[in-house]
């Protein structure tokens, strides 16, 4: 057994700080610290990451409960953490991403046989819609109570005023539950309960008012026609988008016509949408007019500049590179201009990108930069990507983009053993799987 080295308060505080930073990122360094320093009390940091989901995009990344539970199980303060977490869950009113994470954790406790965990879940559910307590994750209720849990949730929703019920319509959940429980006729059970309970009837009427989800069938991808593109432009939607798969098969003559329409368009909003098209495919004429638009000032107030920059990213030119370097020097977080280096990257640019990353002082700045950094190195393999990508890994709390960062480090042959060791305990399941593949590959060639 390895002898533990005694640490002074300053050293302990520094390791606790590193531990919390890892929790914010969702990386495996937290587990490695916990294994190496079991005598340090990291419970305050674990609790902070438990009550609030610290992921950058909590909706897309989802609950980090599995990641956190692995730390809780290993902590010497496990029992105290479980007790406090169940108490926090019981008292939490708002159904946000933190609530999802808390309920998932209490469900883990229940699965592991923690006494009282199921009762805590049910008692919190009983508070729903009273004194500001919101309805929490119904999937948890379905797991612990099955059909009875569905009926309990149906009654709660059905008791709401009619105008509020629509917010809780979840026919898809009921249909999924039916698929997973073929031995039960779910709708028959709901109908039976509705005959004696008006609230459940209200809920049943609500979900039956919605068409069941249709099974998705991949249809043959049809290329855009000129009329299709003009229709999208005419809609004048700020969130318009064009699909590369539908652009790929287009008639080149139509793409040229769209380019001419873009150049001739006088309405700024319509011009924006035309330019958005050329983010996905190369502008068929000289890039000079795009460069002129990209050189304008106030990019935050003018979407046209951003779309022109993205259209320029398909071209190589000294003047494009000059514009990029000028913007890099003048803006703290020049994320809008990073893609100009995709086709204009040169040896030594990794140092420039590292300096830009090091300017960032919060997770928002880091996240603004990551997509452009990934695009640059995906198009320009370079072992010098190591420093900027590692800076992104250690400074970004988005597990979704972290996968691409790790993949690029690995493909360029510069993924460190230290990071690879951390990946085994990352919050992202795909990254944990990737770490196993990389280890097997390295072992095979050793």
Domain ranges of the chain: 1-136, 138-212, 221-315, 345-445
> What is the tens place of the pLDDT at every residue in 301-346?
678 899 999 999 999 999 999 999 999 999 999 999 999 999 999 9
Per-residue DSSP letter, 26: T
> What is the tens place of the pLDDT at every residue in 262-275?
999 999 999 999 99
CA distance 308 to 169: 42
Instruction: For 167-183, give the DSSP string.
Output: GG--HHHHHHHHHH-TT
Tens-binned pLDDT, residue by residue, of the chain (446 aa): 355 678 899 999 999 999 999 999 999 999 999 999 999 999 999 999 999 999 999 888 999 999 999 999 999 999 999 999 999 999 998 888 788 999 999 999 999 999 999 999 999 999 999 999 998 878 999 999 999 999 999 999 999 999 999 999 999 999 999 999 999 999 999 999 999 999 999 999 999 998 888 776 677 889 999 999 999 999 977 788 999 999 999 999 999 999 999 999 999 999 999 999 999 999 999 999 999 999 998 776 678 899 999 999 999 999 999 999 999 999 999 999 999 999 999 999 999 999 999 999 899 999 999 999 999 999 999 999 999 999 999 999 999 999 999 999 999 999 999 999 999 999 999 999 999 999 999 999 87
CA-to-CA dists, residue 236 to 102, 265, 411, 424, angstroms: 42, 13, 41, 46
CA-to-CA dists, residue 311 to 155, 295, 305, 318, 349, angstroms: 54, 13, 10, 16, 21
Query: How many Å is the maximal CA-CA distance in the chain?
Result: 77
Per-residue DSSP letter, 284: S
Q: What value does the mean pLDDT of the chain take?
A: 94
CA distance 133 to 125: 9
Per-residue DSSP letter, 56: S
């Amino acid at each position: 057994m390895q002898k533990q080295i005694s640490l002074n308060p300053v050293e302990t505080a520094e390791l606790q700080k590193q531990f919390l930073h890892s929790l914010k990122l969702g990386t495996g360094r937290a587990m490695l610290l916990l294994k190496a320093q079991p005598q340090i009390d990291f419970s305050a940091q674990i609790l902070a990451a438990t009550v609030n989901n610290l992921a950058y995009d909590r909706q897309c990344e989802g609950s980090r409960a599995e990641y956190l539970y692995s730390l809780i199980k290993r902590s010497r303060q496990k029992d105290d953490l479980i007790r406090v977490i169940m108490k926090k869950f019981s008292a939490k009113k708002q159904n946000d991403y933190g609530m999802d994470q808390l309920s998932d954790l209490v469900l883990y406790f229940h699965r592991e046989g923690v006494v009282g965990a199921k009762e805590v879940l049910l008692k919190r559910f009983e508070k729903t819609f009273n004194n500001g307590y919101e309805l929490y994750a119904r999937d948890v209720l379905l797991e612990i109570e099955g059909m009875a849990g569905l009926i309990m949730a149906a009654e709660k929703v059905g008791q709401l005023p009619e105008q509020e019920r629509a917010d809780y319509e979840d026919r898809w959940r009921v249909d999924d539950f039916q698929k997973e429980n073929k031995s039960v006729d779910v709708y028959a059970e709901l109908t039976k309960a509705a005959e004696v309970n008006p609230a459940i009837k209200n809920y049943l009427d609500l979900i039956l008012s919605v068409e069941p989800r249709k099974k998705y069938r991949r249809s043959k991808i049809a290329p855009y026609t000129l009329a299709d593109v003009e229709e999208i432009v005419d809609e004048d939607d700020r969130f318009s988008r064009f699909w590369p798969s539908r652009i790929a098969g287009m008639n080149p003559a139509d793409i040229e016509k769209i380019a001419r329409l873009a150049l001739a368009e006088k309405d700024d909003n319509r011009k924006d949408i035309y330019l958005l098209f050329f983010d996905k495919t190369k502008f068929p004429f000289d890039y000079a007019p795009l460069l002129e638009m990209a050189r304008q000032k106030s990019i935050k107030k003018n979407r046209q500049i951003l779309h022109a920059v993205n259209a320029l990213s398909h071209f190589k030119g000294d003047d494009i590179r000059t514009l990029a370097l000028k913007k890099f020097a003048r803006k703290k977080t020049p994320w809008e201009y990073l893609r100009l280096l995709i086709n204009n990257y040169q040896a030594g640019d990794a140092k420039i990108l590292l300096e830009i990353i090091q300017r960032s002082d919060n997770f928002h700045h880091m996240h603004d930069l990551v997509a452009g950094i990934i695009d640059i190195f995906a198009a320009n393999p370079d072992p010098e990507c190591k420093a900027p990508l590692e800076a992104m890994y250690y400074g970004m709390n988005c597990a979704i983009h972290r996968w691409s960062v790790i993949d690029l480090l690995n493909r360029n042959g510069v993924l460190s053993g230290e990071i690879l060791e951390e990946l085994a305990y990352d919050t992202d399941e795909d990254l944990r799987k990737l770490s196993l593949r990389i280890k097997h590959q390295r072992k095979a060639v050793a």
